[in-house]
Structure 1
Amino acid sequence: MAIADVPEYAHLTAADVEALGAELDAIRADIEADRGARDARYLHNTIRFQRGLEFTGRMLTMGASRRPVWWAGAVTLGVAKIVENMELGHNVMHGQWDWMNDPEVHSTSWEWDITGPSAHWKHTHNYIHHKYTNVLGMDDDVGYGLLRVTRDQRWRPFNLGNLAYNTLLALFFEYGVAAQHLELGKKRKTPEAKAELKRDMTDVGRKIGRQVGKDFVLAPAISGVLNRSPRAARKTATANLFANMMRNVWTNAVIFCGHFPDGAEKFTKADMTNESQAQWYLRQMLGSANFRSGPVLGFMSGNLSYQIEHHLFPDLPSNRLAEISVRVQALCDKYDLPYTTGSFLVQYGKSWRTIAKLSLPNEYLSATSDDAPETASERRFREDDGPRLAPVIDASTGRRRGLKTAISDSRSRRRERASA
């Protein structure tokens, strides 16, 4: 089953957890004190770059009747939409740039280029997801109400379509974001709840109307008039469709790499009781995953290649996450905690492998619900030597032996038993 006692699973005492929290607080304080001109310059350069890309892409799609121009316009516009959603919209709405007191880039005023209204997303993502990260029954991002991504979710025949559902979710991800806040499967019995749903659906409908009108009505109409050709209008519309789907697939991939590879743990509601800030930090570290990136891949992912650091400090500027990651990795080494990362393709492949496996009932799967690659619990160690709540110091090296070592030892013992 999912983790119900995070400190026990991490092999840390209460004092250890609080000490870890204090060190992470210190990282936050250092970055907050150092924010300034170089960060503002990075943001404004990003905005200029994104707007230049979008203008170029829009102009190219107006001449999309020729195939090379179609591809150039569609890809350029797709990249512009990715940058706007990932490095600008997502991060601005997290409040990463509120310290600048600039109304143009403030979390309360940014409306992004996607069908989901910003106000809705800030509730489902900033509050629900980041507060209750990977907590079963609390965080809707655990499968998005559509996918089975942990053995703790009861299997239903519906789950046989896991791979098909995720393919559709990837292609039309912006509509999944728009629908998530609506909680369409939730029963609403009171007049107030029904009125709230009606207001939310109206907001979503208006936002979808604006997005569809911009990309598939206005832009093609202008192209048709300029080129005096209905065919040009159709080509512009298909180029815009490709750009939107390109953005959707990329966004889906980046998000899944941060939440569903092996090592991104799930938790039960039991661990939420009286959770301290330090315990919340620890849960974010265990429930998130990174992928390795250079400057370009990091930028195109909105720096969510550093998903662990983003979950620890969601309101710190994204351009600082790379330097923060060096200090977080040092803390993981100090407390012998795993730092879950890998190449982009490996992390994304693991996510799809999990989605494929969990389309089947548990009886067709190997391992257990306590020790599967995509799911673990504090009970995974009890078949060996039981949980170790006190820090264990290796007498020969003087190093702490905690969760990272315990996982490695447990795997080695299983391999030995398998080969015996």
Structure 2
Amino acid sequence: MREDRQLSPAEQDAFGAELDALRNRTLADLGAADARYIRRIRSATRLSALAGRLLLLAGWFPPTWLLGSLLLGLAKILDNMELGHNVMHGQYDWMNDPELSGRTFEWDIAGPGDFWRHTHNHIHHTYTNVLGMDDDIGYGVVRLFPEQRWKPYYRWQPLWVTIQALLFQYSVAVQHLRLDQYFKGRMSREELRPLLKQFNGKIARQWAKDYLFFPLLALLLGANALAVLAGNVVANLIRNLWTFAIIFCGHFTEQAAVFSPCVLEGERRGHWYLRQMRGSSNLEGGRLFHILTGNLSHQIEHHLFPDLPARRYAELAVEVREIAQRYGQTYNSGSFAAQFGSVLKRIWVYRLPNAV
């Protein structure tokens, strides 16, 4: 386990001031290169989706069907990770481009953008890894830390996690409904009804697009509708499994920490930064790998600076790592294989009660 040096209030303030200064320098440097980058990502997403859908019209011929499914899956990953997630954080609001507005962007995924802006941008990033306040800790069905109270159904969590990974877009979408509060009588039917309407409407539109419109279009064009339908299913599975793996690696590795709600009492800016760093994990890889993760491979930098363009995280990471070392803080970074392996170990170990 990590052994970070405990910082005094004065040291916390100095730590926070250094990271604030780094953030401000980066904000002052944003410009044409950042705008050009995100527009290229938007174009690459659209072109990949178009190419994938056209190739799927060729039917079951293995090379074209496989490539079409992969390209469509790539488009969904880019839309979800590097485009949607980052745009909805307001990282490009300074461009004043209506298509890249964090307040209105809608992505190609089951969860409504408004749901994500609340559960992720506000709740998760404010209460990162605080037990009982950050619903992302296990998403309500997985025990990943010994500090979480054990419940009997956790015995089967390897099965729950497998289902969650395959259907990850729905797991994320349903989170905002807070169904646990409804079944406990803490939310009325009247409060739940508008959320369900929005939830059902977005899922209906996604299903109509992927599983009705494009297969019917294929039928009208004389192509194989089943091949198109299957390609869309596979593309969504590819995106679901990839986003699950990246998000779990960013938050639930062996070195990641959780916190008691008491840490929020009078929390200083510097301690907020410490909490973000201690609760996050990075993944090492090349430039393409970072793009495919939405640069959430730099989860530490994302949690420190969620509103800075994610393409900047790699350069920020050099200075963040140096600052962390000077203040005696663990900079949790490792290969995808090592970090994901530690996540799987947590899922297996904490399915059982803590040893007495």
Q: CA deviation at 1:109?
A: 1.6
Equivalent residue, structure 2, for 1:345: 337
Q: Mark the CA change 1:189 to 1:355 in structure 2 (over 3 Å): closer, same or farther.
A: closer
Equivalent residue, structure 2, for 1:146: 141
Following the alignment from structure 1 to structure 2, what is the Cα–Cα distance between the partners of residues 54 and 9? 45
The 5 A counterparts of 1:262-281 are 262-281=254-273
Is the contact made by 2:280 and 2:300 (CA closer than 8 Å) also made in structure 1? yes
Root-mean-square deviation (CA, aligned residues, Å) is 1.6
Q: For residues 46-69 of structure 1, what are the alpha-carbon distances to aligned partners after superposition, in whole Å with 9 as ceiling and x for unaligned?
A: 111111101101111122232222
Following the alignment from structure 1 to structure 2, what is the Cα–Cα distance between the partners of residues 290 and 25? 20
Equivalent residue, structure 2, for 1:299: 291
The 5 A counterparts of 1:8-19 are 10-19=5-14
Answering whether residue 32 of structure 2 is matched by residue 25 of structure 1, we say no
Q: For residues 129-152 of structure 1, what are the alpha-carbon distances to aligned partners after superposition, in whole Å with 9 as ceiling and x for unaligned?
A: 000000000000000000011111
Moved more, 47-56 or 355-364: 355-364
Equivalent residue, structure 1, for 2:175: 180
Matched positions, count: 355
Stretches of structure 1 that go unaligned for 5 or more consecutive residues are 365-420
Residue from 153, 164, 167 that aligns with 1:158: 153
Q: CA deviation at 1:263?
A: 1.1
The 5 A counterparts of 1:326-405 are 326-363=318-355
Following the alignment from structure 1 to structure 2, what is the Cα–Cα distance between the partners of residues 236 and 9? 52
Following the alignment from structure 1 to structure 2, what is the Cα–Cα distance between the partners of residues 340 and 189? 40
Is the contact made by 1:259 and 1:288 (CA closer than 8 Å) also made in structure 2? yes
Equivalent residue, structure 2, for 1:169: 164
Q: For residues 336-358 of structure 1, what are the alpha-carbon distances to aligned partners after superposition, in whole Å with 9 as ceiling and x for unaligned?
A: 21100100111011101100111
Amino acid at match of 2:20: D
Following the alignment from structure 1 to structure 2, what is the Cα–Cα distance between the partners of residues 283 and 363? 27
Amino acid at match of 2:137: V
TM-score, normalised to structure 1, is 0.82
Is the contact made by 1:64 and 1:239 (CA closer than 8 Å) also made in structure 2? no
- Partner-residue secondary structure (3-state), 1:314: coil
- Partner-residue secondary structure (3-state), 1:266: coil
Following the alignment from structure 2 to structure 1, what is the Cα–Cα distance between the partners of residues 93 and 191? 29
Q: CA deviation at 1:363?
A: 2.1
The 5 A counterparts of 1:180-259 are 180-187=175-182, 189=185, 193-227=188-222, 232-259=224-251
Q: CA deviation at 1:9?
A: 6.0
Higher Cα radius of gyration: 1
- Partner-residue secondary structure (3-state), 1:215: helix
Answering whether residue 51 of structure 2 is matched by residue 59 of structure 1, we say no
Q: CA deviation at 1:10?
A: 3.6
Is the contact made by 1:86 and 1:301 (CA closer than 8 Å) also made in structure 2? yes
Stretches of structure 2 that go unaligned for 5 or more consecutive residues are none
Is the contact made by 1:63 and 1:223 (CA closer than 8 Å) also made in structure 2? no
